[in-house]
Chain A
Amino acid sequence: NAGVTQTPKFRILKIGQSMTLQCTQDMNHNYMYWYRQDPGMGLKLIYYSVGAGITDKGEVPNGYNVSRSTTEDFPLRLELAAPSQTSVYFCASSLGHATTYNEQFFGPGTRLTVL
C-alpha cells in the first residue's frame, strides 16, 4: 500500500492564480481530511469528508473548495491564491467507523508559496 499520496510536493503560485492539490489514498478509508500548517503552528482543519459525495467545512475553509467523487480521491482547490494561503498542506484519511480506533494517516504534504 502506498498509503496517502499528495501531489505536487512543492508549488509556487502568483497572487490570483488557481490550482488543485491532489490527494489519493489506497486504504479504502471512508474519511478524508485537508489540513494546513503555518510555520511554528499546529495543523488546522480546512475541509473533511465522511464518504464519497459528502464534504463539510473545518476550522479554516475560506478560500478553498473540495469535492469527493470517489472513495480514493479528495482534491483541494484554491481558486484565487492569496499570500495568506502560503502554508504546508496535509491530506489525511481514516477508517471512520464508529469505533474508538480512528487513527488518521497523513500524506507527506504539499508546500505552497503564494507570491
Chain B
Amino acid sequence: DAKTTQPNSMESNEEEPVHLPCNHSTISGTDYIHWYRQLPSQGPEYVIHGLTSNVNNRMASLAIAEDRKSSTLILHRATLRDAAVYYCILREDSGGSNYKLTFGKGTLLTVNP
C-alpha cells in the first residue's frame, strides 16, 4: 500500500496562512491525493483532493509537487475553527470500484488566538 508521512503536530496563529506537508514517495501514477480533517469529537470531513495539478476550493488549496512525491495543504487564513487533525490520504483504486481510504495518524493543527 502506498503510504503517507505527515508531521505529528503543527502550530499556527489565527489569520495567518498554514502549510501542512505530506510526503508520499511511493505514490503510483493512478493514486489520487485526498485530504480530510477531523474536528474534535466529530467524524472526518472531506477537504480537497487532486491528482497532478494544484487545486483550489472554498476550504483550502492543494499544491502537488511535479514528481508527485509530496503535497502541501494550504489554509490561507487559519481560524480557530480550523484546529483539527488533518489527514493526507492516497486513494487506492484496488480494481473494480473499490475506493478505499487508508487513514494514518495525521497532523494535529493547533491555532493560537
Contacts and interface: CB of A to CB of B under 8 A. Distances in A.
A44 B103 contact: yes
A11 B105 CA distance: 25
B44 A94 contact: no
A102 B91 contact: yes
Nearest to A58: B100
A47 B7 CA distance: 28
Interface in A64-104: 90, 92, 94, 96-98, 100-104
Interface residues of A, number: 30
A101 B51 CA distance: 11
A42 B103 contact: yes
Nearest to A109: B43
Contacts, number: 56
Interface in A41-68: 41-45, 48, 50, 56, 58-59
Interface residues of B, number: 23
Nearest to A6: B43
Contact of A96 (B97, B103, B104, B105): B97
Contacts of A42: 87, 103-106
B45 A106 contact: yes
> Which of B43, B46, B98 has the most chain A CB atoms inside 10 A of its CB?
B43
Given A44-B103, A50-B97, A58-B100, A100 B45 contact: no
B102 interface: yes
Contacts of B32: 100
Interface in B65-93: 87, 91
B42 to A, nearest CB: 7
Nearest to B51: A100
A16 interface: no
Closest 7 pairs between A and B when the two form their complex, measured CB to CB = A106-B43, A42-B103, A43-B103, A103-B46, A102-B99, A90-B43, A42-B104
Given A105-B46, A106-B43, A108-B42, 19 more contacts: A4-B43, A43-B44, A45-B101, A48-B98, A50-B96, A50-B98, A58-B100, A59-B102, A92-B44, A97-B97, A101-B49, A103-B46, A104-B36, A104-B44, A104-B46, A104-B101, A106-B44, A107-B43, A109-B43
